[in-house]
Structure 1
């Protein structure tokens, strides 16, 4: 009989664990390639539209590092296509950047590139 009680306790424990797993939300970070197959290039400003980003998601910027870069800027830098002091500049050509909650702004600060649409604004919840 004691074997039967042990099995019942194990069954209850497994059932309780399944309930917890089924009712918990698992928030997994997603990875997005900016510009999809075209990569980080001109006219990508509309690329974020229709996508739902979360804090902790990763943006992958693929580009030719001899002709482009990625600069994390504030709203003023994004709107004015300028690089505020202390902005983080990425230049590997395969940069991976984690999003923070709220607004995230990125530009290419090679002359004329941001003005030609090489910039994105992403809001992460």
Structure 2
């Protein structure tokens, strides 16, 4: 049987779908801060971990005293919230990592300055 151009195209599409499914199946979920959750002095929590784009970070915390803000590099280093930054307030936030650098802080007064921030690089 001779396979035409349409059959090859269908096979290519199916292969792409299969590969994207495998990539999603390999995504990992990390609880920021481990059992202690998202709190002070979590800056070093990322050490020894290898993150990939598509992995999920779970931020568990008391929303009456903390939050999570996705910031840029300047916001991370200066502990400031840039205009338009996404603020999470649920206490059980699930955030998917983008490829490259990802920065998160708590913007409650003094919290970021006291070590409540993380920088994650995803391959």
The answer, yes or no, to whether TM exceeds 0.5 is: yes
Aligned-partner Cα distance in 2 for 1:103–1:48: 12
Provide structure 2 residue ranges, at least 5 long, that are not aligned to the other structure: 1-18
1:120 positional shift = 0.1
Aligned counterpart, 2:51: 53
Aligned counterpart, 1:89: 87
TM superposition score normalised by structure 1: 0.80
TM superposition score normalised by structure 2: 0.81
Count of aligned pairs between the two proteins: 103
SS at match of 1:46: helix
Aligned counterpart, 1:102: 100
Question: 1:14-38: CA deviations, max 9, x gaps?
Answer: xxxxxxxxxx8x4310000000000
Aligned counterpart, 2:28: 30
Bigger Cα Rg: 1
Point out 4+ residue stretches in structure 1 off by more than 6 angstroms.
Answer: none
Provide structure 1 residue ranges, at least 5 long, that are not aligned to the other structure: 1-23
Aligned counterpart, 1:62: 60
